[in-house]
Structure 1
Amino acid sequence: MNSIFLIGYYGYGNFGDEVLLKTFINKLKGNGKWKRIHVLSTKYHSHDKITYIPRFSFFHIFRAVRQSDIVLFGGGGIFQDTTSSKSLYYYIFLILLAKLTGKKVLVAFQGIGPLKRRINHYIFRYVIDHFLDYVSLRDVESLQLLKNTVKVRRPLQYFDDPSLSFFRDSVDLTTMNNLENVLGLNVRQTGNEEINADHFAAIINRIVEKYNVSLKFFILQEEHELDLVTKINSMLTVKATVCQLTIDNFTEVFKCNYLLAMRLHLLILAFSANIRFLGITYDPKVSNFLDGVDTGKVSLDLDTLETKLEQLLSGNVKKRNDEIFEGKINSVEAGFKALFDLINDGGSPGNGTV
């Protein structure tokens, strides 16, 4: 059949997930084996040998599974129970459906957790140990969660986030020769502890007055960001422009000298483009990435934000460490090689960082 079913949180207008989807599609097409790629999304349509499958249509999902040789869970952090267990159980159901129809099930470059409910530890451990043909993770923290807390028995490996490869191939440094004096901003609602909009706006107002920078908000998922951005922007003395970031216009970020952001894949983009940046740590995946690239971070309480921003705009925050960057790129490429070696040859998964 030479068909693969790619599963993730695709189709909801989340910039990070759409970057991951584009990354996997590019890699699959480059592999040259696939006559048809199915993608789990929000509605049914077909384009350029890619069929998008509505995630709540059992008929379309079952048909896509039956028509595929391999079911691949590609990138992101879909295996978690932060708000409820429903999403976790949904993806576990897809794994079981694929195995019941005799398909290979591969999980690649996944971030795992949080898994807060103990019953989910037992369920997910059993699924990983008995129903998956391949597992790779996107960070050491996911590996430690599975090994030390969930107590998974099977061998595990991790590689860096695959979006690094996409951004590396997409970044054209010649577009960055005439940088404007712009501070890029990105904030989001988290559902738990939230940013204090008044405090945030007051700090940004003082920074603008002192450093005479222009401001540009980047929205990566309107549902979780637009209201907060609108509220903060209404309190700024110098209004920021607002850009809805997509897979087609993400080079707008290159017009910024500096970036303050919460979203993981915007931080990864800044790192890839060698833009000085600070991250606001609302989620372990963001903190883990910032620690791994040796750059500045602030917590949601914003206690150190003003000091860190002054350091950023004064040039006292380091630019990208090229050795770290190349190491992460090599890690991603090793991850894809391990994945495609298994797909193409039916061999062992290869060597990752264990």
Structure 2
Amino acid sequence: MKKIALVGYFGWGNFGDELFLKVHRQELGKHYELNVANDLLVQPYFSRPVSEIVDESDAILIGGGDLLNPLRVSDLYWQTEYLRKPTFVYGLGVPNQPFRRENVLEFYRKFFAHENCKLIVARDVESYNWIKENLDPGDKLTWYPDPVCALDRPAPGKTEKGVFGVVMREHRSRSDDLSHLESAISRARELGYKIRHIALATDSLGEGDLALARELAQPGDEVVHSESLDELCIELSKVELLATIKFHGLVVGTMYGVPAIAMSVTPKNRNFLRMIERPEMLVSYTNEGLADRVVKYPSRIHQRVRASLYYRALDGYKLLRTELAKALD
């Protein structure tokens, strides 16, 4: 069985990235042996030369996530050594789109133009357009919805009417001013909601998120956490309305039909909400308008929207398998 080295933000316990691993295994694991490239969670990320990892692999799969940073080149995601083998970039997003450094863009142009960079799949049309306009990778570029939309999720729990789910994250960029979030939670209580704080991470990142959830919780609130990705998905499925700072809280909630307020004003959240025609649900946790998005009778995400995302994301993996087969078989 041919071996693929997986390159991404794997091992830290970030909800979305661990789901990327799960869906990669679901869609590729029957055909290829999949191995995470990095074995360290701190720089230099690899305990041995990258060339050895590449030599042991038949192909490299980079992604998904916001890995195409126009301001700097990651030593984890963009090793030129990878290009000694057929390399595939999948589920790619672009953070910091208004900002760029020309030397960084030139690196990406050369990387994508290399003959061994076989396929580049963006996760939304906006990222696709940015890559096309700024990096000119040619016809190897396309886009499909976020890979996690293709995940075979566990069966949803029974929707608990009147439960407002809150997902925050402990991060160095987090504002100390949580007053608008607290106002939104108070608004939910006034409308009769029970508050459930969901620590949406595992491993080392889960510890910080769980501590923050406990800090935010008031008497009578629930705090839930699990080291199981399936259990975390089920917790998202059960709430009636969700407010999440995490992008994949939004994605997984959407795929269960749960309406979600995206509390981080990032390109990926904006683009996904535009894709599902809910742009009004983008409001930062530091914005005084957040409480206005908390309503008593939220509209669930229609099954047609969810089915479209699911089958389009599956089509993306079909293309990836086809291109892998061309390069390796």
TM-score range, shorter chain: 0.7 to 0.9
Percentage of pairs with the same residue: 23
Q: Deviations over 1:48-102 (max 9, x none)?
A: xxxxxx932233x4333112111111312222156xx252x44222xx21334xx
- Tell me how far apart the structure 2 counterparts of residues 277 and 293 of structure 1 sit (CA, whole Å): 11
In 2 relative to 1, CA 329–242 (structure 1 residues): closer, same or farther, beyond 3 Å? closer
- Tell me how far apart the structure 1 counterparts of residues 308 and 242 of structure 2 sit (CA, whole Å): 23
For 1:11, the equivalent position in structure 2 comes to 11
For 1:255, the equivalent position in structure 2 comes to 238
Task: Select the structure with the greater relative contact order (CA < 8 A; seq sep ≥ 6).
Answer: 2
- Tell me how far apart the structure 2 counterparts of residues 239 and 176 of structure 1 sit (CA, whole Å): 19
Q: CA deviation at 1:252?
A: 2.1
For 1:305, the equivalent position in structure 2 comes to 290
Amino acid at match of 2:166: L
Counterpart among 180, 185, 204 of residue 185 in structure 2:
204
Amino acid at match of 1:66: D
TM norm structure 2? 0.85
Amino acid at match of 1:272: M
For 2:78, the equivalent position in structure 1 comes to 92
Counterpart among 67, 92, 110 of residue 110 in structure 1:
92
For 1:136, the equivalent position in structure 2 comes to 121
For 1:270, the equivalent position in structure 2 comes to 253
Q: Deviations over 1:283-339 (max 9, x none)?
A: 211111112112222134322211210x2xx21x32112222222222111111111
Whether 2:36 is the aligned partner of 1:55: answer no
For 1:222, the equivalent position in structure 2 comes to 206
Alignment of 1:311-330 (within 5 A): 311=295, 314-315=296-297, 317-330=298-311
- Tell me how far apart the structure 2 counterparts of residues 43 and 147 of structure 1 sit (CA, whole Å): 33
In 2 relative to 1, CA 345–138 (structure 1 residues): closer, same or farther, beyond 3 Å? same
- Tell me how far apart the structure 2 counterparts of residues 29 and 268 of structure 1 sit (CA, whole Å): 23
Q: Deviations over 1:168-220 (max 9, x none)?
A: x22424x326x253211012356557372133224313421441423233332
Amino acid at match of 1:229: A
> Alpha carbon RMSD of aligned pairs, Å?
2.7
Counterpart among 274, 286, 309 of residue 269 in structure 2:
286
Amino acid at match of 1:37: L
Which secondary structure does the structure 2 equivalent of 1:18 belong to? helix
Q: Is the 8 A contact 1:107 1:136 kept in 2?
A: yes
- Tell me how far apart the structure 1 counterparts of residues 40 and 171 of structure 2 sit (CA, whole Å): 26
Which secondary structure does the structure 2 equivalent of 1:211 belong to? coil
Q: Is the 8 A contact 1:10 1:42 kept in 2?
A: no
> What number of residue pairs does the alignment pair up?
316
- Tell me how far apart the structure 1 counterparts of residues 38 and 137 of structure 2 sit (CA, whole Å): 32
In 2 relative to 1, CA 195–277 (structure 1 residues): closer, same or farther, beyond 3 Å? farther
For 1:48, the equivalent position in structure 2 comes to none
Q: Is the 8 A contact 1:38 1:64 kept in 2?
A: no
